[in-house]
Structure 1
Amino acid sequence: MNRFLHAALLPLARQCGSKLLVKNELVSNPFLLRRMITSVEHSDVVAKYLKDHEIKVEGLNPPPPALSFEDANIPENILQHVTRQFDSPTPIQSQALPIAMEGTNMVGIGQTGSGKTLAFLIPALVHIHKAKEQNRGKAYSGPTALILTPTRELAQQIQDVASEYRNICKINLVKCIGGESRYRQLSLYDNRPNLMIATPGRLNDFLQAREMSVSDVEYVVLDEADRMLDMGFEPQIRSILDQTKSEKQVLMFSATWPPEVKELAEDFLNDYTFLNIGSIELSANKNITQEIVFCDQFAKLNTFLDKVESLDSNKMLVFAETKKSVDFLERALRKRRINALGIHGDKSQMQRSSVIQKFKAGHCKIMIATDIAARGLDISGVDYVVNYDFPKDIENYIHRIGRTGRSSSKGTSITLFTDDDAGFAKKLVEILKESNQEIPKELYEFISQKREEKQMKRYGRQDQSERGFRRNSFYDNPREYRRNNKYGDDRRQSWNNNRDDRRDNFRNREDYIDKY
């Protein structure tokens, strides 16, 4: 690049505010040049892309989104593998990759199934590559990149994706989760892994026993941060992060933005870029068609079995609230000669992994699960999600149905709704409205019914008037109500009428006492 072009682009580079300019690396960084050209020549395209995908970015001069993987400054060996699998980045990948590749701390809020695994895994591989060159000849003191997840299934899923790049990038990795052999995990750690994928509980146990170290970690990902905090892992997360390098890049991904997650971000990320896809509040994927089936509690099982049979051989994930229900539904389906497999917390990790692998491979078309499969599982080709039991937490409803309609594909969710679920009708209507779904009139009837029950519980019997329901007369004038109340009048009259009988009985009792 000649000095005239350098002088012409220098104001644009200052406007971008990139860290690369501080190091005077304008000439040797084609990504910075591409960023400046994108911000000038394609500003209208970028603005339209951000608007169409509801991408909101807050921070100090955040980079524009990468509309293709070639624009994301990905190393050539990784880029070739990525482009063979995907045509273009998802919205969260297009914006998160440029931010992460610049070394900036980031918080990403997005719906499930948005493709964030690749968004934080590619920067991790780049960090590992640079660290291998810098630390050549030095003693090993732990992995370079650390990914923390709330569940074993999510850790397994991330490992499956990372394993595809193991040979390409020549890295070792270790997965530290509960339910598997500690001895095997320690053996893998002895192979000097560059990437560690772990659940907070198991990793904290290893660190407290001084069997592992994370003192060399310079890149940390907190995936499903809100779920980890809900599960009570905050002390373990803080303990682990305190043992990593003081200067590190931290990426935090979450489906919601509660105060607890915000506090954790402020403690460990300091200055960070905030990326939000869609609403900050938890919202359903608009690519999913949500169907509500109303039935009686006693006819629920037959309704479910008939529905499953009508869906023929589609790939289906069924959610039940309890472990007992999972086993019961598995037996009920097999009695109808429908092949199904179930997973829940009482099954070993080996059994759970085996069932998930069979379901992914298509050897079994129906998998029944508790909420352990509601978050993190990325299984392609799931046509239907069926909620046999409505979840006790409305957030889990969104996470459950998010197992279908992954990335940009379409999906369908079917939810059985009974009288026992009436308390969730109002929140369910809000979710359906937000995702532009058709709202059944039965849900509004449930809302009215629940409102009347609440009023009855609070105010007692309701009197019908021309203006609708109102408080009964006791609350208008309690003294007058007691005076005119029919039940009270009858009771008072009965007491007066029996006064002579009570007096005679009392005299007879005195005579009895005197006599005996």
Structure 2
Amino acid sequence: MKLAGSTDELFKKLTFGIRKRRLEQRKKETDHSLPLARILPDDCKEICKRNKNKNSEINNETSNSLITSEKEPKILGGFENVLKKKKRCRSLAVKKEQIAHLRKLNRIFVWGDNIPDPLIHFTGIHGLSQELINNLKEFGITEPTPIQMQAIPVMMQERDLLCSAPTGSGKTLAFALPIIFDVVRRKSHNSKDQLNAVVLEPTHELVKQTYVQFLKFSHNLSVSLNVLISTPNKLVYALNKNSKILLDGLNWLVIDESDRLFDTTEGDDRCFRNQLAQIYQACSENSVRRALFSATFSYEVEDWCKKNLYNVAMICIGSRNSAVSSVKQELIFAGSEHGKIIGLRALFQNSFKPPALIFVQSKLRAKQLVPIIESLQPPIPVKMISSEKTEIERESAIAEFRSGHVWVLICTDLMSRGLDLSGVNLVVNFDLPTSIISYIHRIGRAGRAGRRGHAVTYFTESDLNFIRPIATVIKQAGFKVPEYTLRMRKPTKKEKKKLLKHAPKRKNIGSLKKASGKRKEEKKRKKEVVA
């Protein structure tokens, strides 16, 4: 008995850590990086050979059975039909295996009944006009991305859809192409007085960006689209002013950045969910199909779709609510607000490759950070953007950032969603994001369309109670984080909701003097002048 016990202990010692190493190896094998371009199986020829072999086996079986059936009594005459049925079942099984393999390669996950097969080529869309194909080629779009591979066929079925894919993966084309195709297909039935589709975007900047995309893809088509692209607030205002707003013959209601559906940070009056309820009621006809797109897959939005949408198809590209692994992510403890400034100066003076976005939690903090960046040597062209800026000022700042005249743009979460700012190399979370969703959207501004990027997130002692969810997301993306951040207490649901509505209080950035202090200095100077 002692010998058995000692052998068990010896075995445990020899195999200690093997299970952990296997898990780590498995994680390495399943690369977290998402294919932003379509991936086709390398073993296509082998699959075809396998299919041929299976078919030849089935044919041999049928031929042998026919030979034997000729010799045997006619009572087995129906055996041929049975074999044909088996052949069909096997060929269907092979096709299912191929589709499953294609989805696995492109990390396409689907839920729902009768989900159509993924699209491999745009030319595979029956009836797609040559003008539309030429428009895609003109802008360098030759093959569908994973989200387009699956979302386009589902929308072609004219069914409700909930879709999640990483930032910069081509979600706009995934819903724009089926809408344009649908309008072209129905052009003889379309009325000039009726809207074909309504696309809702959370910000004015995204409205304009999506509008430009629709113009690009529908260029040279001999049909008017009649597509309304708007923010929910503007559409609600229009509905209140004129209830007969041409929504009677609507075919599509598309909600982009749909995770904002349950975002209540802007208060009840400006809450996306309340605004959407009114729009949803105005689009209550059975003919209206709904499609929801976002970079994250919220459980609340999923539950809402299951309750309110009929036969909804759900698509998720990659891991649910995961950060883009093409962006190198760092989580740095700065200790205090002053520590953040020291870290930022070191980052910009040592390894800075513009352009860069810096995210802060409020407009006031954005204002406070501008002079600090301007004071760096050599000087860095910097501007800030927030909701209090006029539309013209925001557009001007974005245009200068895109042209390269501005290297650093300091902003609030207004800029974290959807905007395609190509070439962003660095994202700095100067203030810790208030949720995982906010973090994913923020760092998604870098590394768009498969390009490499860098994201740095600073946190202080006041952030320790909320650091664990962010640290977990970074760790799951394959990057190192301080081990103690993963052992911190998980914030409760109540704490998370409170954090979304009220960001944590922080000390002023830098050494901004209060107005009272300035007045005292002025009085001193006046006394000196009098003396």
Q: Same fold (TM over 0.5)?
A: yes
Q: Work out whether residues 141 and 216 of structure 1, in 8 Å CA contact, stay in contact via their aligned partners in 2.
A: no
Q: Work out whether residues 387 and 414 of structure 1, in 8 Å CA contact, stay in contact via their aligned partners in 2.
A: yes
Q: Indicate how the Cα distance of structure 1 residues 39 and 407 shifts in structure 2: closer, same or farther if over 3 A, else same.
A: farther
Tell me if 1:445 matches 2:484.
yes
Superposition map of 1:242-321 within 5 A: 242-244=281-283, 245-280=285-320, 282-297=321-336, 298-321=338-361
Superposition map of 1:383-462 within 5 A: 383-439=425-481, 443-446=482-485
Q: 2:232 maps to what in 1?
A: 200
One-letter amino acid matched to 1:320: V
Q: 1:371 maps to what in 2?
A: 413
Q: Indicate how the Cα distance of structure 1 residues 348 and 319 shifts in structure 2: closer, same or farther if over 3 A, else same.
A: same
Q: Work out whether residues 333 and 459 of structure 2, in 8 Å CA contact, stay in contact via their aligned partners in 1.
A: yes
One-letter amino acid matched to 2:418: G
Q: 2:135 maps to what in 1?
A: 81
Q: Work out whether residues 72 and 97 of structure 1, in 8 Å CA contact, stay in contact via their aligned partners in 2.
A: no
Task: Give the CA deviation at 1:147.
Answer: 0.5
Tell me if 1:101 matches 2:156.
yes
Q: What is the rounded CA distance, in whole Å, between the counterparts of 2:95 and 2:485 in structure 1? A: 50
CA-based RMSD = 2.6
Task: Give the CA deviation at 1:267.
Answer: 4.9
Cα shift readout 1:393-452 (whole Å, capped 9, x = no counterpart): 23211211111122322221111232222223322331122212123xxx333566x569
Q: What is the rounded CA distance, in whole Å, between the counterparts of 2:262 and 2:207 in structure 1? A: 16
Q: What is the rounded CA distance, in whole Å, between the counterparts of 1:165 and 1:81 in structure 2? A: 6
One-letter amino acid matched to 1:151: T
Q: What is the rounded CA distance, in whole Å, between the counterparts of 2:218 and 2:485 in structure 1? A: 53
One-letter amino acid matched to 2:324: N
Q: Work out whether residues 160 and 290 of structure 2, in 8 Å CA contact, stay in contact via their aligned partners in 1.
A: yes
Q: Work out whether residues 160 and 289 of structure 2, in 8 Å CA contact, stay in contact via their aligned partners in 1.
A: yes
Tell me if 1:128 matches 2:183.
yes
Q: Indicate how the Cα distance of structure 1 residues 296 and 268 shifts in structure 2: closer, same or farther if over 3 A, else same.
A: closer
Cα shift readout 1:152-184 (whole Å, capped 9, x = no counterpart): 222222112112134323566xxxxxxxxxxxx
Secondary structure of the residue that 1:324 maps to in structure 2?
A: helix
Q: What is the rounded CA distance, in whole Å, between the counterparts of 2:111 and 2:484 in structure 1? A: 42
TM-score by length of 1: 0.69
Q: Indicate how the Cα distance of structure 1 residues 70 and 362 shifts in structure 2: closer, same or farther if over 3 A, else same.
A: farther
Q: Work out whether residues 394 and 424 of structure 1, in 8 Å CA contact, stay in contact via their aligned partners in 2.
A: no
Q: Work out whether residues 131 and 144 of structure 1, in 8 Å CA contact, stay in contact via their aligned partners in 2.
A: no
Secondary structure of the residue that 2:158 maps to in structure 1?
A: coil
Tell me if 1:224 matches 2:224.
no
Q: 1:167 maps to what in 2?
A: 219
Secondary structure of the residue that 1:286 maps to in structure 2?
A: coil
Task: Give the CA deviation at 1:372.
Answer: 0.6
One-letter amino acid matched to 1:61: N
Task: Give the CA deviation at 1:39.
Answer: 7.8
Q: What is the rounded CA distance, in whole Å, between the counterparts of 1:378 and 1:170 in structure 2? A: 28
Secondary structure of the residue that 1:169 maps to in structure 2?
A: coil
Tell me if 1:47 matches 2:103.
no
Secondary structure of the residue that 1:82 maps to in structure 2?
A: helix
Cα shift readout 1:38-68 (whole Å, capped 9, x = no counterpart): 9898766543331123211223322211123
Structure 2 residue runs of 5 or longer lacking an equivalent are: 1-90, 265-270, 493-531
Secondary structure of the residue that 2:246 maps to in structure 1?
A: coil
One-letter amino acid matched to 2:231: T
Q: Indicate how the Cα distance of structure 1 residues 407 and 313 shifts in structure 2: closer, same or farther if over 3 A, else same.
A: closer
Tell me if 1:62 matches 2:95.
no
Q: Work out whether residues 322 and 370 of structure 1, in 8 Å CA contact, stay in contact via their aligned partners in 2.
A: yes
Q: What is the rounded CA distance, in whole Å, between the counterparts of 1:248 and 1:87 in structure 2? A: 30
One-letter amino acid matched to 1:261: V
Q: What is the rounded CA distance, in whole Å, between the counterparts of 2:439 and 2:457 in structure 1? A: 9
Q: Indicate how the Cα distance of structure 1 residues 305 and 206 shifts in structure 2: closer, same or farther if over 3 A, else same.
A: same
Segment drifting more, 229-238 vs 373-382: 229-238
Aligned residues: 388
Alignment partner of 1:151 out of 160, 184, 203: 203
